[in-house]
Amino acid sequence: MLSKLMASIAAVTTVLILAATSPVHAEKTIKINLAHGGDPVHPWNTAAKQFAKEVQEKSNGALTVRIYTAGQMGSDREMLESTQSGALQMSAISTMAMSGFEPSLQIFDLPYLMPSYELAYKVLDGEIGQEVAEKLKKKGVRNLAYWENDYRQLSNSKKPIVTVEDVAGLKIRVPETPILISWLEALKAIPTPIAYTELYTSLQQGVVDGQDNGIFLMHSAKYYEVQKYYTLTNHIYAPVAFLINERFFNKLSGEQQQIIQEAAEHARDYQRSLSKDLRNERLSEMKQAGLEVTELSPEALQQFRESAQPVYEKMKSVVDERLLQKILDLK
């Protein structure tokens, strides 16, 4: 009798164990596709890998992240549209490329607005950055954190840029952003909008003379192969919006939302730290490859800063003057 009872208990236990471990009852894995325009060696990608690892580990595998690099999912505009529609769950996109999507982001395009990393982080990570980010939610995307695209610099294939006068006449590729275009026009350059995915070929074929990306993109995209001169103008600190589709985010559990939010902020801090450590190393590598790098004298840098003042006046109707004053008060 006892042996029959034990056998019955064992049978029931086996059924319960099988039911508990059955795929039917297992938690469904949620797959997240994350795209950015950086190459595999860009700090964006290193940060994206860090983000993916933390999300998977802290969710015990319930959330997995697949990363697409170097414009595999299209241009910045195409990635943004895909993230907005939900065809793509996440993306990392320069705020400069988003100015047509959310005009309030244009405030970050003003030349020499944030002349130090410390000020940029204070603005972006504080209430000013949050206020701008809130506007994106109404358009279907959420900015989890501001990553770093670093300071934009001027490169070209014609001559060293040592003073503001040297920019005149140069055909410079730009993203489609009115503030940068206005500034280069004030310098008597010829700003030419070209998609990032077409930039290398355009430089190689001489469609444009130069461009204005930061050190890491200059290095990872190998623009130094088709550009001879690079001047550290530091004219715009360019943030990157780390985006997630708002509907997708809201369907996640509260715990999963917290995991993603915290991982995004950790990856942001990691990427900024990594950029600080690698900046001079990447610049040295490009110098060794033949790139001629110019550091502006204090007098020349002041000239460049003064060249931006007419742009501030011209763009008063474009940017939020209240937010602009808040940033200026922090300087």
293 occurs within a structural domain: yes
**What pLDDT sits at residue 281?**
97
Q: Indicate the SS3 state at residue 294.
A: strand
pLDDT of amino acid 60:
98
Task: Say how many Å lie between the first and final Cα of the chain, rounded.
Answer: 86
190 assigned to some structural domain: yes
Q: What is the mean pLDDT of each run of 10 residues along the chain (331 residues)?
A: 37 39 57 96 96 99 98 94 99 95 96 98 98 97 98 99 99 95 98 93 98 96 98 98 99 99 98 95 98 98 97 92 96 85
Tokens, residue 87: 């065809």
Give the chain's radius of gyration (CA, Å).
Answer: 24
Judge whether 249 and 141 are in contact, CB under 8 Å. no
What confidence score (pLDDT) does residue 225 get?
Answer: 98
Query: What pLDDT shows up at residue 197?
Result: 85
Q: Tell me, yes or no, whether 13 lies in a domain.
A: no
- Roughly what angle, to the nearest 10 degrees, separates helices 117-125 and 321-330? 130
CATH code, domain with 152 = 3.40.190.170
Q: pTM for the whole thing?
A: 0.89
Is 4 inside a domain boundary?
no
Q: Are 314 and 178 in contact (CB under 8 A)?
A: no
The reply to whether 112 falls in a domain is: yes
Number of structural domains found in the chain: 1
Domain presence at residue 15: no
Residue 2: Cβ within 10 Å count:
6
Q: Give 274's DSSP letter.
A: H
| DSSP state, residue 32 | E
Can you tell me the distance from the alpha carbon of 326 to that of 91, in angstroms, rounded to the nearest whole number?
29
Which residues are bridge partners to 80 per DSSP?
none
The CA-atom distances, in angstroms, between 259 and each of 4, 19, 53, 225 are 49, 29, 11, 41
* Helix H or strand E encompassing 174: strand 171-174
DSSP assignment of 34-84 equals EEESS-TTSHHHHHHHHHHHHHHHHTTTSEEEEEE-TTTT--HHHHHHHHH
Contact 285, 219 (CB under 8 A): yes
Q: Which domain does 97 fall in, by range?
A: 28-330
Among residues 283, 304, 310, 175, the alpha carbon closest in space to that of 234 is found at 304
Q: Is residue 7 part of a domain?
A: no
Query: Which whole-number Å values give the CA distances from 187 to 97, 110, 176, 304, 321, in the listed order?
Result: 22, 15, 18, 9, 24
